[in-house]
Amino acid sequence: MAVIHRTTMSPSKRDLLTVWLPSRPWYRGGTRPRPTKVGGFRLDDPAGEVGIEFMVVTDDSGVRPVTYHLPMTYRGAELPGGAHALIGTSEHGVLGLRWIYDGSHDPVAVAQIAALMSGNAQPQAQSQSDTPDSSVVVANSVSDSAVAEFAVADGVDDTEITVVGGPLLRVHRRLDPEAPPPGLATVTAPWRGPGGEVTRSILLSAHG
């Protein structure tokens, strides 16, 4: 199980996202984002090496607030061939220098997303160690599939991960209140609105 450390990161994740978000094709805010964390969860890396977080943030720098879903991984060394997916580096108060990546391009995160969608991984609380998160719901799970090779396409609305010999995984980037279509394999989770109201949205879906 991942251990959550109560410590600092410099620069902070918010600072890194402020620079990184405007470079994304699905971003709809201003040139200087103001992301605020409003929800999310984690998954464990079976090898215990890579941190995997699914962060939900709301940015109010544009014409209207927009809520985004940001899978991220935290590594103690560079991901080979992963420079294109690097969000930034940060000094962790306990673990030292960490490389932070867009999780949709990280093979460890993609493998665990596939495991989650097939019912073989358990969502964990975002800010507590060794604590399952029952608010994250997996519906209509897909067949289990090993992830040996995959391709990623960042679109204007979401990110598609095509697993060779497996399902098409979709990372929903801009979140709205929505009910999952009947029969679609989905992962839904709650997040907090500006008035403290709780909204549930689709964060991940799978086809095939």
Domain ranges of the chain: 9-207
Q: What is the pLDDT of residues 39-93, one digit of tens each?
A: 999 999 999 999 999 999 999 999 999 999 999 999 999 999 999 999 999 997 7
Rounded Cα distance, 205 and 202, in Å: 7
Q: What is the pLDDT of residues 2-11, one digit of tens each?
A: 665 566 788 9
| Closest-CA residue to 21 (of 72, 80, 79) | 72
Residue 181 has pLDDT above 90, yes or no: no
> What is residue 98's predicted lDDT score, i.e. its pLDDT?
95
- Could you say which DSSP state residue 157 is in? S
Q: How far is CA 55 from CA 14, 40, 73, in A?
A: 11, 4, 10
Q: Is 188 helix (H, G, I), strand (E, B) or coil?
A: strand
Containing H/E element for 18?
helix 13-20
One-letter amino acid identity for 131? T
Model pTM score: 0.93
